[in-house]
């Protein structure tokens, strides 16, 4: 039927904008937003699909499962790492420390990525390139092959553990005053332990609960790791 003459003419509806095609990059983008904004536990295939306005099943054409998504998140974070242009045999220990600091910086910038990294061997291209850079520095320090191979497992394990602990602590929403109070109570607890059973814990109560914060303790850790590796270097 033709439209009645007294019926208002409706303007034509604008065409709906075409949806951007679903890609692996867009999936990782959405997962990283969830990871940074809400933490690791907020990242699931279902929630990523909701973030993208699509069905969960459509994700599986690009990402096999949550384990692969974790690998992709770790690889995305690894893209942000900066390494020295060339390993320097004269400065390899300082370069190694700088790279560990850089790894922690990237993990702090992407809270939750440490949890994605724990318990798996990162196999993405960028993550493997990061491993290659660490190996180059270790070999510049004349470390034996086996020591270098184990070191590139030990180093990320330490940095990831530090970052993961920081993520857990930040989730508690403690203020600096809360933390100071907790440390004070812990010191008092150590100082009240029986001297006959815990003589060293009691004597070192102050040292055990001191330190200006995570950075100072982290620096101690990377110094210990670097010095230990240096002791294994082969003589030229």
Same domain, 36 and 111: no
Q: Which two tokens stand for residue 206?
A: 């102050």
Domain containing residue 48: CATH number:
1.10.10.60
Within 8 A by CB and 6+ apart from 206, the residues are 187
Task: List the end-to-end C-alpha distance of the chain, in Å, as a whole number.
Answer: 95
For residue 235, tell me if it sits in a domain: no
pLDDT digits (tens, 9 = 90+) for 87-146: 999 999 999 999 999 999 999 999 899 999 987 888 999 999 999 999 999 999 999 999
pLDDT digits (tens, 9 = 90+) for 1-17: 555 555 555 666 665 55
pLDDT digits (tens, 9 = 90+) for 30-42: 999 999 999 899 9
Same domain, 154 and 53: no
Same domain, 151 and 99: yes
Same domain, 88 and 182: yes
Q: Which two tokens stand for residue 158?
A: 């330490």
Same domain, 97 and 53: no
For residue 183, tell me if it sits in a domain: yes
Decide which of 35, 63, 91 is a domain's last residue: 63
Residue carrying structure tokens 């054409």:
61
Residue carrying structure tokens 């240096």:
230
Between 211 and 175, where is the model more confident?
175
Same domain, 39 and 151: no
pLDDT digits (tens, 9 = 90+) for 35-91: 999 989 999 999 999 999 999 999 999 999 999 999 999 999 999 999 999 999 999
What average pLDDT does this structure show over 149-167? 94
Same domain, 57 and 93: no
Q: pLDDT band at 214, cuts 50/70/90?
A: confident
Q: Which of 168, 164, 151 is nearest to 222 (CA)?
A: 151
**CA dihedral sign of residues 104, 110, 112, 116:** negative
Q: How many domains, the chain? A: 2
Same domain, 34 and 93: no
Q: Which of 118, 98, 211, 209 is nearest to 161 (CA)?
A: 118
Q: Which of 102, 44, 101, 110 is nearest to 77 (CA)?
A: 110
Same domain, 119 and 166: yes
Query: Quick one: DSSP state of residue 88?
Result: -
The boundaries of the domain holding residue 54 are 24-63
Domain containing residue 158: CATH number:
1.10.357.10
pLDDT of residue 121: 87
Same domain, 93 and 159: yes
């Amino acid at each position: 039927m033709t439209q009645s003459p007294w019926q208002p003419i409706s303007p034509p509806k604008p065409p709906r904008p075409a949806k951007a095609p679903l890609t692996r990059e867009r999936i990782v983008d959405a997962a990283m937003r969830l990871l940074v904004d809400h933490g690791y536990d907020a990242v699931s295939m279902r929630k990523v699909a909701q973030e993208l306005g699509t069905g969960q099943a459509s994700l599986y054409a690009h990402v096999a499962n949550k384990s692969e998504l974790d690998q992709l998140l770790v690889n995305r974070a690894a893209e942000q790492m900066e390494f020295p242009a060339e390993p320097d045999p004269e400065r390899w220990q300082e370069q190694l420390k700088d790279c560990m600091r850089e790894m922690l910086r990237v993990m702090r910038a992407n809270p939750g990525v440490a949890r994605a990294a724990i318990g798996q061997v990162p196999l993405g291209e960028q993550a493997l390139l990061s491993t290659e850079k660490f190996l180059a520095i270790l070999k510049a320090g004349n470390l034996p092959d086996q020591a270098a191979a184990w070191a590139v497992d030990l180093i990320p394990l330490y940095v990831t553990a530090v970052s993961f602990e920081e993520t857990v602590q930040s989730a508690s929403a403690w203020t600096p005053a809360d933390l100071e109070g907790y440390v004070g109570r812990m010191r008092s607890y150590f100082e009240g332990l029986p001297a006959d059973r815990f003589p060293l814990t009691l004597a070192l109560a102050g040292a055990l609960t001191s330190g200006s914060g995570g950075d100072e303790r982290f620096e101690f850790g990377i110094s210990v790791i670097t010095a230990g590796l240096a002791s294994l270097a082969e003589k030229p």
